[in-house]
């Protein structure tokens, strides 16, 4: 009898304990799982399409290369952002100028409709020839786009799921975009869309997605700026039939994204300007989180997460919320993995605004007055390219904030190549624009840009005096401040002794990356003095780096590889001795050595014997930040 009772009691204890542990597990998982709501799986999905974009000079208006990789180059610098408040545009709005709003109703799927709920559209084999023909017009599957309703439904892509649900139920806050409460009063926005020879269906699906999914009181107007398309006037007639004010402006001649956006901005009557690209689809609840952030602080520039609309099938594919914007030595915009530092700052809440060092530039919202106070755009820039980095640096350095708002999603058709022509040639324009960014905002780090782009020194930057005056007037901070406080994970080393080519005394040849990727061997060839693949930085942290790769050796006898810089010393620590001119690998004590005759392009790692084949010269025509820091080594 007693025995039986005891047994039941034991069973109860065991059951209760397991239940408690189960709950503990669930809570722990919900905090540490990287895969809330299957977001991980989705981010993997977008990789193939994204990698297809890795074309160096992509010239779509806002399409940027979408290369996602880990960025472990973490600096331990402090990350507190100190704000300079010069009392210009006030931080908040008068509440009387704000509007009451209600979420827009969901767009319901049309049964049997092509591409409904963001699904892929597949073209039947008999229409494949037509599809290929039409693809050439815009560099996306126009036939598929034309089959899809302008009002097509999408799934609600906002972050949620089992773990987020549990966190919500247990703690009643955060983590579920759908449960977030936004302020009752928000500012109005005008949408500015610049286009050039855009397809009818993609342009108008963009407009309809704005109309359908924005709270009507907050949507002041849509301004379409036609940058000299070679198409007719039927758009004017069509927009008159739309349920919100939509205006069409036309530039007289091809003006480029920057000037066309400035034209559009001039006609904005809303309080916030929202720039969108011409082949987007806004998802449910996209606008409120953007405006909610601006209403807190008007000096915040906010971007949605840019999802991928397949250029082949128009399938809507969710992008990762774990990437932010960065840039490399060439000043190409790049996506990188959000570092732990920023995750910690957000207390691990993936729905919280993400401070991003740079933005892709195609899709963002900014308070109209702040836009002008901050210097709008650099009118000396042509057509396209570089303006996104220019604005990103300007926002941060001049006291603003730049954020990605994970609860706001907008899809964008990413293309492999541009269907447009560029007057004067693409590369010249992009180099011209990037040089202006480097000259005005990057201080001595502009050397990285010039070293990496050999052609850049011959491209005129034009007059930059008014932009420099703007930087002066707004009392903007230095690029060093930006690197230390906003982007310590950057590829640009904070302190470096040397930037240039590295020459062997005996062979007179130079170290060369040969354009190879992370994990491949370092190369060597005759010195061409043009920079690019022969440019290396020797940093205070003892790295020898080329863009985001560092020289790396894991054994006493090599090989010497290029490996993504991790900033933790170890296999990537080297010491250059200015007197005996050796480059010594710290971990193994071996010396970088000229190649053998069996492979004259392969530098080696050998035990140090201090002969000429192990002597290297760091000395070239570039300018260095180096020498005044020598004593700190």
Of the pair 150, 249, the CB lying nearest ligand NAG is at 150
283 contact choice in Mn ion, ligand NAG, none (CB below 5 to 8 Å, kind-dependent): none
CB 149 to ligand NAG: min, Å: 6
* Burial (0-12, 13-18, 19+ Cβ within 10 Å), 169: exposed
The strand pairing partners of 325, in sequence order, are 335, 358
CA 438-441-446 angle, to 5 degrees, is 35
CB 306 to Mn ion: min, Å: 10
CB 462 to ligand NAG: min, Å: 44
150 contact choice in Mn ion, ligand NAG, none (CB below 5 to 8 Å, kind-dependent): ligand NAG
Minimal CB distance residue for Mn ion: 277
Stretch 184-213 residues interacting with Mn ion (CB under 5 A): none
62 contact choice in ligand NAG, Mn ion, none (CB below 5 to 8 Å, kind-dependent): Mn ion
CB 302 to Mn ion: min, Å: 19
Of the pair 194, 442, the CB lying nearest Mn ion is at 194
Stretch that binds Mn ion, among 53-61, 144-152, 509-517, 545-553 (CB under 5 A): 53-61
DSSP assignments along 173-242, one per residue: SSS-GGGPPPPSEE--EEEEEEESS--HHHHHHHHHHHHHHS-GGGEEEEEEEE-S-S--SHHHHHHHTS
Of 237, 226, 233, 238, give the one whose Cα is nearest residue 197.
226
**CA-derived radius of gyration, the chain:** 27
Q: Which of 30, 49, 62, 330 binds Mn ion (CB under 5 A)?
A: 62
- CB 43 within 8 Å of CB 70: no
- CB 156 within 8 Å of CB 283: yes
C-beta neighbour count of 460 within 10 angstroms: 9
What is the number of H-type helices and E-type strands within the chain? 17, 27
518 contact choice in ligand NAG, Mn ion, none (CB below 5 to 8 Å, kind-dependent): none
Give, as one character, the DSSP assignment of residue 457.
G
- CB 393 within 8 Å of CB 481: no
602 contact choice in Mn ion, ligand NAG, none (CB below 5 to 8 Å, kind-dependent): none
Of the pair 108, 579, the CB lying nearest ligand NAG is at 108
514 contact choice in ligand NAG, Mn ion, none (CB below 5 to 8 Å, kind-dependent): none
Which two three-digit tokens encode residue 367? 């308070």
CB 599 to Mn ion: min, Å: 44
Check binding of 387 to Mn ion (CB under 5 A). Answer: no
542 contact choice in Mn ion, ligand NAG, none (CB below 5 to 8 Å, kind-dependent): none
Question: What pairing do the DSSP bridges indicate for beta strands 246-250 and 219-226?
Answer: parallel
198 contact choice in Mn ion, ligand NAG, none (CB below 5 to 8 Å, kind-dependent): none
Check binding of 277 to Mn ion (CB under 5 A). Answer: yes
Give, as one character, the DSSP assignment of residue 284.
T
Of the pair 162, 238, the CB lying nearest ligand NAG is at 238
Of the pair 59, 188, the CB lying nearest Mn ion is at 59
Of the pair 60, 547, the CB lying nearest Mn ion is at 60
d(CA 164, CA 156): 15
The two most distant CA atoms of the chain are separated, in Å, by 98
CB 107 to ligand NAG: min, Å: 8
CB 534 to ligand NAG: min, Å: 56
315 contact choice in Mn ion, ligand NAG, none (CB below 5 to 8 Å, kind-dependent): none
- CB 272 within 8 Å of CB 291: yes
Minimal CB distance residue for ligand NAG: 151
d(CA 515, CA 179): 48
Binding site for ligand NAG (CB under 6 A): 149-151
Of the pair 43, 153, the CB lying nearest ligand NAG is at 153
* Burial (0-12, 13-18, 19+ Cβ within 10 Å), 327: buried
Torsion on CA atoms 590, 591, 595, 599, rounded to nearest 10: 30
Helix, strand or coil, per DSSP, at residue 93: coil
CB 39 to ligand NAG: min, Å: 30
277 contact choice in ligand NAG, Mn ion, none (CB below 5 to 8 Å, kind-dependent): Mn ion
CB 433 to ligand NAG: min, Å: 37
Of the pair 277, 390, the CB lying nearest Mn ion is at 277
Of the pair 281, 548, the CB lying nearest ligand NAG is at 281
CA within 13 Å, CB half, 122: 2
Of the pair 26, 150, the CB lying nearest ligand NAG is at 150
Which ranges of 252-286 would DSSP assign to H, the alpha helix? 256-266
Stretch that binds Mn ion, among 63-71, 333-341, 352-360, 446-454 (CB under 5 A): 63-71
* Burial (0-12, 13-18, 19+ Cβ within 10 Å), 349: middle
Of the pair 62, 390, the CB lying nearest Mn ion is at 62
d(CA 23, CA 28): 9
C-beta neighbour count of 493 within 10 angstroms: 23
Of the pair 149, 554, the CB lying nearest ligand NAG is at 149
227 contact choice in Mn ion, ligand NAG, none (CB below 5 to 8 Å, kind-dependent): none
CB 239 to ligand NAG: min, Å: 12
Q: How many residues bind Mn ion (CB under 5 A)?
A: 4
d(CA 354, CA 440): 26
151 contact choice in Mn ion, ligand NAG, none (CB below 5 to 8 Å, kind-dependent): ligand NAG
Of 479, 304, 334, give the one whose Cα is nearest residue 393.
479
Of the pair 150, 494, the CB lying nearest ligand NAG is at 150
CB 109 to ligand NAG: min, Å: 13
CB 278 to Mn ion: min, Å: 7
501 contact choice in Mn ion, ligand NAG, none (CB below 5 to 8 Å, kind-dependent): none
* Residue carrying the six token digits 């007289």: 252
CB 363 to Mn ion: min, Å: 9
Which residues in this chain contact Mn ion in the complex, by CB under 5 A? 60, 62-63, 277
């Amino acid at each position: 009898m007693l025995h039986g009772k005891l047994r039941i009691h034991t069973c109860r204890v065991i059951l209760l304990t397991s239940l408690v542990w189960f709950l503990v597990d669930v809570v722990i998982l919900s905090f540490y799982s990287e895969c809330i709501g299957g977001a991980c799986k989705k981010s993997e999905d977008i990789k193939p399409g994204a990698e297809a974009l890795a074309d160096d000079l992509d010239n779509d208006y806002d399409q940027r290369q979408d290369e996602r990789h880990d960025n472990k180059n973490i600096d331990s610098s402090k990350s507190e952002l100190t704000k300079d408040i010069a009392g210009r545009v006030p931080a908040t709005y008068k509440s009387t100028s704000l509007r009451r709003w209600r979420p827009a109703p969901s767009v319901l799927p049309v049964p049997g409709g092509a591409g409904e709920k963001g699904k892929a559209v597949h073209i039947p084999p008999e229409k494949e020839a037509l599809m290929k023909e039409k693809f050439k017009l815009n560099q996306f599957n126009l036939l598929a786009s034309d089959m899809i309703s302008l009002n097509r439904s999408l799934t609600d892509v906002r972050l949620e799921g089992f773990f987020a649900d549990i966190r919500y139920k247990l703690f009643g806050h955060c983590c579920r975009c759908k449960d977030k409460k936004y302020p009752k009063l928000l500012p109005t926005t005008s949408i500015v869309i610049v286009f050039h020879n855009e397809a009818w269906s993609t342009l108008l699906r963009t407009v309809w997605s704005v109309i359908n999914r924005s709270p009507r009181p907050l949507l002041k107007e849509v301004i379409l700026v036609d940058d000299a398309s070679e198409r007719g006037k039927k758009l004017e007639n069509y927009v008159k039939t739309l349920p919100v004010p939509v205006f069409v402006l036309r530039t007289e001649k091809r003006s480029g994204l920057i000037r066309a956006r400035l034209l559009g901005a001039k006609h904005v009557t809303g309080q916030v300007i929202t720039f969108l690209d011409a082949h987007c689809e806004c998802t449910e609840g996209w606008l409120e989180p953007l405006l909610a952030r601006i209403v807190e602080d008007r000096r915040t520039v906010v971007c949605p997460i840019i999802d991928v609309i397949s250029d082949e099938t128009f399938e809507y594919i969710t992008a990762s919320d774990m990437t932010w914007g960065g840039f490399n030595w060439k000043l190409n915009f790049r996506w990188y993995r959000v570092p732990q530092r920023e995750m910690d700052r957000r207390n691990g809440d993936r729905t919280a605004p993400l401070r991003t060092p740079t933005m892709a530039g195609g899709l963002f919202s900014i308070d109209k007055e702040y836009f002008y106070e901050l210097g709008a755009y650099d009118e000396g820039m042509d057509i396209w390219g570089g303006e996104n980095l220019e604005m990103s640096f300007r926002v941060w350095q001049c006291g603003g904030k730049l954020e990605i708002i994970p609860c706001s999603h907008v899809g964008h058709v990413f293309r492999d190549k541009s269907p447009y022509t560029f007057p004067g040639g693409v590369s010249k324009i992009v180099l011209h624009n990037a040089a202006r960014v480097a000259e005005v905002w990057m201080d001595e780090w502009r050397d990285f840009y010039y070293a990496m782009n050999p052609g850049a020194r011959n491209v005129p930057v034009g007059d930059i005096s008014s932009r420099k005056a703007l930087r002066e007037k707004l009392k903007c901070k230095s690029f060093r401040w930006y690197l230390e406080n906003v982007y310590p994970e950057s590829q640009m080393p904070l302190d470096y002794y040397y930037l240039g080519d590295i020459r062997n005394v005996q062979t007179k040849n130079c170290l060369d990356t040969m354009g190879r990727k992370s994990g491949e061997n370092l190369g060597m060839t005759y010195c061409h003095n043009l920079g690019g693949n022969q440019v290396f930085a020797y940093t205070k942290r003892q790295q020898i780096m080329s863009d985001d790769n560092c020289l790396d050796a894991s054994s006493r006898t090599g090989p010497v590889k290029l490996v993504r810089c991790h900033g933790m010393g170890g296999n990537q620590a080297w010491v250059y001795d200015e007197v005996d001119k050796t480059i010594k690998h710290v971990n193994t004590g071996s010396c970088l050595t000229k190649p053998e005759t069996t492979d004259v392009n392969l530098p080696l790692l050998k035990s140090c014997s201090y002969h000429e084949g192990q002597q290297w010269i760091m000395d070239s025509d570039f300018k260095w930040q180096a020498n005044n820091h020598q004593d700190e080594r």
